[in-house]
A = this chain, B = another copy of it.
Amino acid sequence: MAVVELLNLNNVVFRTYVFWTGVLVLKMFAMSALTAVKRFKTKTFANPEDLMSPKLKVKFDDPDVERVRRAHRNDLENILPFFIIGLLYTLTNPSTFLAVNLFRAVGISRIVHTLVYAVVVVPQPARALAFFVALGSTAYMALQVVAAAF
């Protein structure tokens, strides 16, 4: 298959990649919203111009805000590399079954990661498992991409 067929929504692999990429971008933006909610709830603002009352001072160490920020940073470290590797993996014309399930694995496990990290704290190894499913799937795709271009 050439790029004309590969980067086409009729190609189930590309379609699944596009779907989960869109969902994960929206999920990442939800982290910004959640950070804002926690900042207002705990009155934790990092900039003097954000303080809504002269009685408030800038604050950087609220545990609730910092937890969401750590989850968000973890997204940057793991989801953003997936976006490009998923696209390049699609261009290597992989097995449909494998590719579709790898994309689903990344999408679902990163949503679970957020839920157990930043929404309702679930004891380990919940977060570690979610983390490793997404990391393993993306790393496998990266290895396939490197092998295809070697």
Contacts and interface: CB of A to CB of B under 8 A. Distances in A.
Nearest to A88: B18
Given A3-B4, A4-B4, A26-B139, A146 B50 contact: no
A22 B145 contact: yes
Contacts of A83: 81, 84
Which has the most chain B C-beta neighbours within 10 Å: A143, A146, A150? Answer: A146
Interface string A11-26: 0000110110111011
A150 to B, nearest CB: 6
Contact of A81 (B29, B67, B124): B29
Given A4-B3, A22-B143, A142-B26, A149 B49 contact: no
A137 B57 CA distance: 32
A32 B21 CA distance: 22
Contacts of A112: none
Contact of A22 (B26, B122, B146): B146
A28 B19 CA distance: 24
Interface of A: 2-4, 7-9, 15-16, 18-19, 21-23, 25-26, 28-29, 31-32, 46-47, 49-50, 66-67, 70, 72, 76-78, 80-81, 83-85, 87-88, 91-92, 117, 121-124, 127, 135, 138-139, 142-143, 145-146, 148-150
